A and B are shown apart, each in its own frame.
Chain A
Amino acid sequence: DAGVTQSPTHLIKTRGQQVTLRCSPKSGHDTVSWYQQALGQGPQFIFQYYEEEERQRGNFPDRFSGHQFPNYSSELNVNALLLGDSALYLCASSLHPRDRAEKLFFGSGTQLSVL
């Protein structure tokens, strides 16, 4: 049973570029959340997708957008990259958006470096 898978594992971009990160949820899960973890910090909630719609959003600018596909996989897009966007981006899946956060399953993340 595959867990949450994310791709790519590492990515290097330059300022102003755009990036797309991908996530496949754990089998049977239909809800995907994205988190940004800056170096030395805890993960910060970006947004959550369920039924192909953004359901909740954290305190992130519109440069951060996402998408969920009918197979429940998800993409995180970041436009006009800034140096401060360098971070580990974690994807987490759960059975249902109303399920409590206790059993979020996390992927290993995509390490994004913006030069």
Chain B
Amino acid sequence: AQKVTQAQTEISVVEKEDVTLDCVYETRDTTYYLFWYKQPPSGELVFLIRRNSFDEQNEISGRYSWNFQKSTSSFNFTITASQVVDSAVYFCALSEARRDDKIIFGKGTRLHILP
């Protein structure tokens, strides 16, 4: 069965600190996709990144970086030099290749960036 676990329910950091959001997943498929989404207070989910199971390269996009480790079934997300605008709920998600149009979301991590 597929499952996404985000153990951190809520995190608060002071602006300019770095913060890492953890994500652990379970799937029986060898081909799958992992995602991160951001949900600001306005409610819509904003796509941040997709990774496929064959691409373990870490990725950096500005202040955002992602660490994908198949050995530990983790796909962690780091925000460097956090800003108040980063305050949101962040969801890690998984889709399997057989059902690549259906996403399974974790419960999310609420991130507070304090000025």
Chains A and B are bound partners: yes
Size bin of chain B's contact surface: 20 to 34
A85 to B45, CA, bound (A): 20
Say yes or no for B64: interface residue by CB 8 A criterion: no
Residues of A near B4 (CB, < 8 A) are 42
Residues of A near B33 (CB, < 8 A) are 100-102
A105 to B37, CA, bound (A): 11
B44, A106: Cβ atoms closer than 8 Å: yes
A6 to chain B, nearest CB (A): 9
Residues of chain B in range 29-66 having any CB-CB distance to chain A below 8 Å: 33, 35, 42-47, 50
Query: CB within 8 A of B106: which of A4, A42, A48, A97?
Result: A42
| Top 7 A-B residue pairs of the complex, sorted by shortest distance between their CB atoms | A42-B105, A102-B50, A106-B45, A108-B43, A108-B44, A109-B43, A101-B103
Binding site for B on A (CB under 8 A): 3-4, 33, 40-45, 48, 56, 58, 88, 90, 92, 94, 97-109, 111
